Each structure stands twice: as C-alpha cells, then as structure tokens.
Amino acid sequence: MEEKPSYYAIIPAEVRYDNELRPNEKLLYGEISCLTESTGECWATNKYFSQLYNVQPNAIATWIRHLKDKQYIEVEYIYNGKEIQKRVIKLGGIQKDNTYSQKDSRGIHKKIGGYSQKGEENNTSMNTTSKNITRYYKDDELNDMFLEYLNLRKKIKAVNTERAIKGLLNKLEPYPDSIKKEMLEESIVNSWKSVYPLKEEKQTAKQRHDSQLKVLEDIYNGNIKLN
C-alpha cells in the first residue's frame, strides 16, 4: 500500500464554507497549501494528486480549474520551447501572504498557523476575470477547458483563426462532453496543437456507453439519418 503524506493541512474559513466548492476541492486546497509551505510554490502533478485521492487525473484538473476560477490559487505553466516543463501552483487571494489572521477576544489581530484570513488584492493577471466570456459550449466546465486550450495554442504559436477553431469543434463534436473534456485535458497537458481521440483502453465502459447513447439520441432527434 502506497504511503500517504502525514503532514497537517489548515483550510481557511473562507474556503471551508464556500458552498460553490466541492468537498474534495476544499481538501485539495489544503493539500496545495501544505505543499507551498516551504517555497511558496506547488509543483505536484495531476497524477500525484489522483493517486492520493483515488480519482482520475481529469477530476483533479477540474478541481484545480475551479479553485483557480474562484481565485483561491494561481496556476502558471513553465515552458521548455513548446513543451510544458512543469506546472506551478501558488496560493492566491486570501492566502497571498501565507499568514492566517483572526481577531482575539480583545479585537486584536493575531496570527495562527501561518495563514491569513484577511484577503489581499491580487494584482496578477492570471486571476483577472472577464464578464464577456466567449461561449462555445453550454457546459461551463467544458467551455472553460476549451478556452484554456485556445489560450495554450496561442502560447505555442498556433493561430486561432475562425477556420481553425471550427475544425477543433468539429473534431470534438462526435463525442459526449465527458470525453471532450478528457481529449482537451490530454492536449493541454501535452501542449498539442490539435485534439485527438483517446486511446481505446482509456475509455471506460461508462464513457463508451455515453458515446453510444449520444448516437442513439441523435438518431431519435433526426440528426443522423439511417439509409
């Protein structure tokens, strides 16, 4: 049995009581906060976290993306040419200064556990959000992943022309949303300029069932005509 870390994790109240976060996302935040303790940065991969929590790497990617969207963490990719060398995760917003502060009974701020409850303005561009979000998919998570992939393509000098984006959408179209997300995750992690079908062995029985179900739905709705 693989040995798991034995260190303690402290999760600030703002994270603990955020009803928009999944329970596992809150736990992952605590894990990240521990790993940033010494250097201020976390370099752990999705595979590492997935083994700790016994989930698929794409689930970890979803949790990290949500924490990033909520501005609890910052995510940066370090490139070696066109390849991603490593991912760097830093605490953002409420834990920017890595100190946790709360008032005691006399109203005096005291620091405990090395964390700060008081949020600081985060001036990094990575945490800047826009109300004018381009929408390609109804599923918010899928749409965010596609936008993230388009952003990656810019960094690796792939031009996002209207024709190129349409081509990517057409490649993803035959698959259910769950597989679209995995295809995009593969392309993001590997810095690919395009998206590709998953290897057959990576598709679970549930995913194959979803794919077959979508075909049946398309036939029923008249989107696919049978000869």
Q: How many domains does the chain have?
A: 2
Q: pLDDT, tens digit, for every residue of 32-91?
A: 988 888 788 899 888 889 888 888 888 898 899 899 988 999 988 887 776 777 889 999
Residue 1, in any domain of the structure: no
Chain mean pLDDT for the chain:
75
Q: Are residues 185 and 207 in the same domain?
A: yes
Residue 4, in any domain of the structure: no
Angstrom distance (rounded) from CA 55 to CA 67: 17
> Mean of the pLDDT values across residues 222-227?
65
Check residue 97 and give its pLDDT: 44
Residue 45, in any domain of the structure: yes
Residue 169 confidence (pLDDT) above 90: yes
Angstrom distance (rounded) from CA 152 to CA 158: 9
Residue 3, in any domain of the structure: no
Q: Are residues 104 and 135 in the same domain?
A: no
Q: Are residues 154 and 176 in the same domain?
A: yes
Residue 153 confidence (pLDDT) above 60: yes
Check residue 171 and give its pLDDT: 92
Residue 105 confidence (pLDDT) above 70: no
pTM score of the predicted model? 0.49
- Give one DSSP letter per residue of 84-101, joined into a string: EEEEEEEE-GGGTTS--E
DSSP helix/strand/coil, 83: strand
Using the 3D structure, point to which of 70, 90, 125 is the last residue of a domain.
125
Residue 76, in any domain of the structure: yes
| Residue type at 106 in one-letter notation | R
Using the 3D structure, point to which of 125, 145, 176 is the last residue of a domain.
125
Q: Which CATH number is 43's domain given?
A: 1.10.10.10
Per the structure, the complete domain to which residue 37 belongs is given by 9-125
